[in-house]
Amino acid sequence: MSKIQTIIRSLRNGHRLVRPLAAASVPDVVRPMRLYSSQGGKAPDGIPSIETRATGASSESEKEDQQYEEDVKARILEKALGFVAASGWSVEALGAGAEAAGYPGVSHRLFPNGGADLVHYFNVKCNEDLVTQMKSWPKEDLTESKVPTKFVENAIVTRLQMLEPYKASWPKAMAIQALPSNVPNCLATLLSLVDDICYHSGDRSVDFNWYIRRVGLAGIYKAAELFYLTDSSAGNSGTRAFVAARIRDAQLIQTAMNMNPVSVAPQTLTAAFVTAKNILGINTLK
């Protein structure tokens, strides 16, 4: 069980468990590390980096170099977001962003995955924004049975509203994320999102519920994302209602799963009996 947890954690940290098909033919390519997060604490520890060949003071300066490179990349990506409305999640947007940041257009190849890197950056950025916002929200009382529905609903809707400026081109972004080579990054950001929401809503579970909550929440988020794309109601009230309904569903499922098997045995037996009667065509309750 702890192994699965480690795997999910590592995915969350952006480790690439699944090597994309594209890389299989060129195993010697040193893949640029994709870490656009500004949070120092999230630095990956499993990824082999250039630092391995240096020690002491020189590793310090290499860390600085790496930070500098990440800063340049982040600056270009930030500017590129401004061109998404015009050029989509594309190489053109990256090129225009590079020019806006004072570099020539060809430096868009700092991001070998083109639009996918831009989408990834945007996701990571939004997740970080959401975490800062969530920290200031009031915590709901969390007793054993109560689910912080309002908090989770707010978190999902807030996160979806961050897509507002890019709503027209977001279907394209979702398509880019669904490409096999981009799936690991996409899953990593999604898991980091639901993990953050669970954590800040007060989830401290260490049992199997840990997984159920996160997977369930991920499902709700992705469904809501699809709903949101075609939601034209004022203030996205439709999306809010949709999210609330899905959370209710999830609660129902959880209630059903938490039921004591012995206490529900008569109901289960009755249901089985009725079903059998239905099948045999001897149901008298017509």
Residue closer to other proteins, measured from CB, 98 or 190: 98
Which class for 174: exposed (0-12), middle (13-18), buried (19 or more C-beta within 10 A)?
middle
In the complex, what is the shortest distance from the CB of residue 79 to other proteins, in angstroms, rounded to a whole number? 12
Asked if 106 is part of the footprint of other proteins (rule: CB under 8 A), the reply reads yes
In the complex, what is the shortest distance from the CB of residue 213 to other proteins, in angstroms, rounded to a whole number? 39
The residue with tokens 């959880």 is 254
For residue 73, report the phi and psi dihedrals to the nearest 5 degrees: -60, -45
Which class for 102: exposed (0-12), middle (13-18), buried (19 or more C-beta within 10 A)?
exposed
Q: Which of 6, 22, 86, 109 binds other proteins (CB under 8 A)?
A: 109
The rounded distance, in Å, linking the Cα atoms of 131 and 125 is 10
Residue closer to other proteins, measured from CB, 111 or 221: 111
Asked if 72 is part of the footprint of other proteins (rule: CB under 8 A), the reply reads yes
Residue closer to other proteins, measured from CB, 103 or 166: 103
Stretch that binds other proteins, among 106-114, 198-206, 258-266, 269-277 (CB under 8 A): 106-114
The residue with tokens 């060129």 is 26
Residue closer to other proteins, measured from CB, 37 or 107: 107
Q: Which residues, including other chains, have CB under 8 Å from residue 267's CB and lie 6 or more apart?
A: none
In the complex, what is the shortest distance from the CB of residue 188 to other proteins, in angstroms, rounded to a whole number? 22
For residue 147, report the phi and psi dihedrals to the nearest 5 degrees: -105, 135
Find out whether 124 and 186 touch, Cβ atoms under 8 Å. no
Please report, as residue ranges, which positions from 78 to 97 form the binding site for other proteins (by CB under 8 A). Answer: 91-92, 95
Find out whether 170 and 163 touch, Cβ atoms under 8 Å. yes
In the complex, what is the shortest distance from the CB of residue 77 to other proteins, in angstroms, rounded to a whole number? 14
Asked if 107 is part of the footprint of other proteins (rule: CB under 8 A), the reply reads yes
Find out whether 243 and 237 touch, Cβ atoms under 8 Å. no
Site string (22-51) toward other proteins, x via CB under 8 A: ----x-xxx-x-------------------
Residue closer to other proteins, measured from CB, 103 or 227: 103
Asked if 64 is part of the footprint of other proteins (rule: CB under 8 A), the reply reads no
Task: Compute CA 156 distance to the chain's CA centroid, rounded to the nearest angstrom.
Answer: 11
Q: Which residues bind other proteins (CB under 8 A)?
A: 26, 28-30, 32, 65, 69, 72, 91-92, 95, 98-99, 102-110
